[in-house]
Amino acid sequence: MNDSEKIDYRNFKINGVYQQNDAAELMIRAKLPAGVLSAIQAIAICDASEKYSNGMLHLTCRGNIEIHGLRGDILPQVFQLYNAVGLTTRGACGGAVRSISCATAVADGFPRIQILVRRLHNYFTGHPHFESLPKKFKIAVENGYQGARHLCQDLVMVYLGEEDGRDLCDVWVAGGLGRQPQEGFLLAGRVPFERLIPLIEGVVKVYQKNTPAGKRLKHLVAEIGETEFRALLSKETSGAPAYPVVTPLEAALGGASTPGASGWIEVPVFAGQLSAADLRSVAAIVRDLGDGFLAISRDQNLLVSLSVGIDPVPLKQALQAAGMLKQEKTLQCRACPGSHLCPKGLVPTRDVARQLDATLGDGSRALSWAISGCPNSCSQPQLADYGIIGVRKGSEEKDALYDLYSRSGDGFGKPVREKLTLAELLKAVAELG
Ligand code: SF4
């Protein structure tokens, strides 16, 4: 690890490490099941960011935390910090089952969903059968059909609740955003929890065995069709045993041991960019006055856990005193790192978010927004009321260009204006009122 420029960092992706630029600066992504982490883990991430990077963090809309701008020679120290508090980065990048995201904030049934997410996280993370996949495989658990989130991942479970002592989910597959958005389809309805792991395992195996490198599950299904996909899946799952998800202890405890079981206090974070100093401040409050847990929401905000017996009043007072709960409403705008940090980024997402913040009228400020630095759509602009995607990089000769999306029906948002300069984009959004 002495001469960082000679190392091929592509081999490190499976460990959540990604090369950002030609100077061999690295990004490391902590993989947080359901976006939940302990205050102690948050402080370890702050330590790593402040000691070995610039003291800034990026919260992702899949509930992970990234540190950017790391040098290769300090990776051992960063992993020591993470290992000491049980943080994993395994499978956070590369061809693996990625972090399992979920409807964290104000989610009915969140204790049950979180038990499911943790079980899946433990099952798939680091499992040699589910690494070296053709490309990433994204799983999410939703608590209902609001929005179009059940349509946009490789595999989504929609939690239906408990009936006759059995937890049930609908399972949707083969969705995705990116350059070729594809809405997923309902694979199986009302699947009991204990049948989920064999079913997911079967889907991942069909994907692994039949898909060329670099392609997602949606590409395989587009190629072979739903009928053939179901036939292949049937062979993979035939005779597979059930796996219990909720243990008797978890069933006995109910939500009592689960972070967020009584709700959350949402701490807004503009465009997912947070200083380690601010996260450290929130983590210390959570450790001293809360239950020791916080989470990253899918809108890239911080969530302070309220589990059974936690009084929210002193927590809110401490967060307000620390300047973390503001009076004015923060614009809800998801943003990927864009050209600020991502090698694929075409436009400066955070700068655009700030300009949006200064431009939008009261009506459009109340809606949800998302900006992605390129058509890969990592901030899920097709799921927001209004989305912006950078489609051309700017230079001295030509302007950067943007597409504006709007979502009105049940599916993904669609482009309503294309190839706008920044000035044209800001004029268009100002006219929304
Ligand atoms: S959308 Fe593009 S620019 Fe943004 S993080 Fe993803 S790949 Fe990078």
Instruction: Based on the fold, state whether residues 111 and 205 are members of the same structural domain.
Output: yes
Return the best residue to mutate from 372, 402, 403 for the ligand 1 pocket (most ligand atoms within 8 A of CB).
Answer: 372
Q: Are residues 357 and 383 in the same domain?
A: yes
User: What is the spatial distance between Cα 200 and Cα 266, in angstroms, rounded to a whole number?
Assistant: 32
* 98 in any annotated domain: no
Same domain, 344 and 417: yes
Decide whether any atom of ligand 1 lies within 6 Å of the 417 Cβ. no
Structural domain includes residue 64: yes
Total domain count for the chain? 3
Ligand 1: which residue has its CA nearest to atom 3? 345
Q: What angle do CA 352, 358, 361 make, to 5 degrees?
A: 115
Please state the atom number of ligand 1 nearest to the C-alpha of residue 373: 3
Measure Cα distances from 244 to 165, 187, 251 in Å.
Answer: 13, 21, 11
- What is the bridge-based pairing of β-strands 56-59 and 369-372? unpaired
The last residue of one of the domains, among 190, 217, 249, is 249
Report DSSP state, residue 53: S
d(CA 16, ligand 1 centre) in Å: 16
Question: 361 and 229, same structural domain?
Answer: no
Q: Is the CB of 387 under 6 A from ligand 1?
A: no
pTM above 0.85, yes or no: yes
Written as tens digits, the pLDDT of the chain (433 aa) is 555 457 888 889 999 999 988 888 999 999 999 999 999 999 999 999 999 999 999 999 999 999 999 998 999 999 999 999 999 999 999 999 999 998 765 556 788 898 999 999 999 999 999 999 999 999 999 988 988 999 999 999 999 998 998 999 999 999 999 999 999 999 999 999 999 999 999 999 999 999 999 999 999 999 999 999 999 999 999 999 999 898 888 888 877 778 888 889 999 999 999 999 999 999 999 999 999 999 999 999 999 999 888 999 999 999 999 999 977 777 899 999 999 999 999 999 999 999 999 999 888 999 999 999 999 999 999 999 999 999 999 999 999 999 999 999 899 999 999 999 999 999 999 998 7
| Domain that includes residue 119, residue range | 107-249
**Claim to verify: residue 316 and residue 339 sit in the same structural domain:** no
The answer to whether residue 166 sits within a structural domain is yes
Q: How far is ligand 1, taken at its centre, from the CA of residue 273, in Å?
A: 15
Characterize 137-147 residue by residue with b for buried, 16 or more Cβ atoms within 10 angstroms of its Cβ, and e for exposed.
Answer: bbbbbbbeeeb
Identify whether residues 228 and 273 lie together within a single domain: no
Distance 415 CA to ligand 1 centre (A): 18
Domain boundary among 291, 321, 351: 321
Residues 217 and 123 in one domain: yes
Domain assignment present for 173: yes
Amino acid at 182: Q
36 CB less than 6 Å from ligand 1? no
Q: Is the same domain home to 80 and 149?
A: no
CATH code of the domain covering residue 218: 3.30.413.10
Same domain, 317 and 339: no
**Which sign does the torsion angle of CA 52, 57, 58, 60 carry?**
positive
Q: Please indicate, yes or no, whether residues 229 and 130 belong to a single structural domain of this protein.
A: yes
